[in-house]
Structure 1
């Protein structure tokens, strides 16, 4: 028989270890009775043991969920004793005698209490704060509402989505997280949403996640969120759902925002088409799938779900089929018309702004240099202020021109604010404007009424001018009194650039300068480009009856870009030419409100016209009394108000452009 000799040091080590274990057990026992340890609980409730049933709702038996020891050990609750949550359990009997007046385990209450305790020293406990935020989101969610069949309890509680005993959501960016994502559809579908799961399983998303185990496919929480679940028919859900789709389909979201559907949606309204209206929700299929709602054979029917008489819209016609809700200007193979239109509009904007901003900058510099050298005299004189005997003025504009100009100014500003609110719907100010007038529908009505007034004023002016010119026997179409560009205008423009650089004298302008003619004819261009494109968009069912759907894409692009060009040009170039040149300061120039200007100012700005009238003896026919002081002051106030409004609109348009 062999005997083992144990040295004294080893014996002490064993005794010390045993003492420590006993002390540890004694410490734990001070908090939790030995019979209520997790090990005791697992002896009955562990996976693989006999199923345990208890009375459930409506006196039906309910089987308790078993606890997997291995998974529990890896969960966030691994270090906790069962009775830390199950505080109503006071014994280890087969049929527990529960403590009176003790609430059943509740995840939300427990975690809220833990976060309240941790707030004093939150370092290292940030996760508890996130859980607390999730609890608040859940309480306001659709799941927290009373169940229809059992109003005494909510539609869903934490334990129905989370395995409470084995809870362990892996960190983002890890392979474990991706595998965890794949379990979500079954968690949602098999317990509550069976029909939606069936549709999802056959969808383009479901075929990835459930068919190929590819976690890149969209799952329930990508669209519905995790805790902030809202009713799918609510506006907050519909708005957020579009953004959720855009998290993966970035290019498609951007192109959708360029359509009127997307602009209204971004303003915060949900009555226009959204992703789910066209593609469906749970059963989304590829475009070339015959079952897809956007398949070429199904597309018109899909459009008519919204564009029909019951929804207050004319019935969608054939052209809707070829409309590109995701058309863009950088894919020539797929959208050649948009590519061409985009390149044309970009070239137009760059060309116009590059030329005229350079023109303004050089003009400002040249006049400022001459002003510093005292080569010019301010146009403001004591006579104009009424401090001396008023002099005769030259009548430059009749009352009809002035009224038309004022009406154009007010209508144009209305068109700019209402139109750019939709065009730049992603800006911070556009939703405020839409809400202030009562929403995009009212915004659209105001825009169309203003457009009709603009075209009406333009047509009245055009007919009036044409009938006068056609009846005149002395008018020359390319003469000095005509607004039609001629060779002198090109010579004057070249001469101005030479003057800018000190290479020649300033040109002698006739009745109309080349930049005034550009302003005038720009209206003709704008009315046709903006007007016709807007008309096609205002009556889509008629447009789509005679034209292919890509016309809508091009019309939307041209309408918005041309309107942007007009607005920025007016509030920069036009304002500079007429109000902000050093020789015009201080603003405003009121000739378009009073209709007259001093002889001195007329002779300075239009020397060729002045000389022609003097030589022909016709100058006296255009001389009138200077406007009264009241008229002048009123014109100054009106001019300053309009300039201020224009500059405010310019700031809004600029911020909207950069936000877009």
Structure 2
């Protein structure tokens, strides 16, 4: 036991001795290192020299403006200050940087304590937390700082938009910090305030007049901040700094009352007038101009089902106004006719139940009398808008209108039917009384008919997408759900069109089709025919050219149809299967396809209406129309005038067709009268008769 204890004691003493030696060595090293550091610091301190402002110009002779710093300071509001008054971190050579210190911000606090306390954030960015938040020098300048009253100052009203635009016109910055308004300065400069400021009216509102809070431009808060001058509920007061009387009228009106009550959907100044791009009411582009106020300004709220239900207002206010005399005149461009503001007021708008409202029943005679002197109270009481959905008139007037509509449909409809029957009789007599020459065979007539049906259907259903308010669009697709299936109808006609084109392509492979294509192909004499026709029409020749089967008019139309068909089918299929196209080609290609499809449709439609309709309908020699598209034949006299060089060949073809039809009919008759088992033989006289 004693031996073991002794060994334990010895082992412990050795360990303690080793630990003491290690601690002593560490202490010696630490003392040595500290001495070395102190020596280095002392050597560095001996290399640093304190300086004053008089030596700054030895190194810094010119500012970024290209002028001497001393000259800039002499002209600035800070004349008399020394360099080190602002550049407090530059008092030694070499300069010793102070992290976070900026001469254009940090040192300003020494003199401008109030402004420093006010400037804690800019918009949604807190100073010191968000990068790119402007410092004092960003707005006021560097060495050339001038009072705001001096025109050369960066904060003078005429220069302030440019100063703010340094950041707010920078799309990289606005995108980075999620600022939703692009180019606010550009918009402002075209506004009534911007133009006034440029014109020397320095009292006109500039950036800080609207955005500053608490009377200082150093406190610019985001619109979501309740204390912000551009917060929804503070905007009337902000605008009221310049427009005091208007603010009072607005706050007394129903809209101001709703704002004071805390309704976020109540309109304020910017709702109607805009924000940065405010225009004068006399400017036709302004949303509050006489021609625009009803549709652009009042209707977005008063046509809203949600708002009308919330506040218990009548619906269809705009619709019933537009249909009234005043609305129709206003829509036609009459700027003197009454609009919403003429009757309801501009800023002090009150419900009709308010005794002081301009539309209170007791005040209507006065209100209407502003435009209609000596108007009676009874006349002034007639409603401008519809009453409980009954329209603009009394029920009796509406009943009379319904009677007239029915009468017009019946009377004019019978007139149309009468003249259509009469026109058909005249055309039939014209055809029956004149020798006819074959122009198109039955299958060609059907091709033409299908092509015409498909083309008309495509035109109506296609343009209805762009001109959905047009009378033709409303006529065909104005019924409930009509515009929803417009696209389907358009595609059905497209399939019919492509099917007809395919049929025609097969026809061109037949013997008659190859002959058709050969005769339709342009040749050199077509240009001569064109010149001869032009000279004849100008009275320089006494005879028309001898046109063959197809004139240059028909050839130009046919090949234009071929080209247009190819373009419309290709672009139409690309738009139909746009999801496939967008995966194979850049988006820009699809945009081009859409433009080509639209304008090619215009070109084709106008070509048919002008070129084709004249040659087949309105040409005096074929009027009231060329009947071949219905019967396949033309009067011989008309054919002689239009295609004299092909008349004899057409007559031979017609005679051959007649003989073929007679033989076909005769064969059927003999087959019907023959005895069972008896062969039918054609007698020589039968052949001669045929």
Q: Could you say whether these structures have the same fold, taking a TM-score greater than 0.5 normalized by the shorter chain as the test?
A: no
TM-score by length of 2: 0.39
Max Rg structure: 2
TM-score by length of 1: 0.40
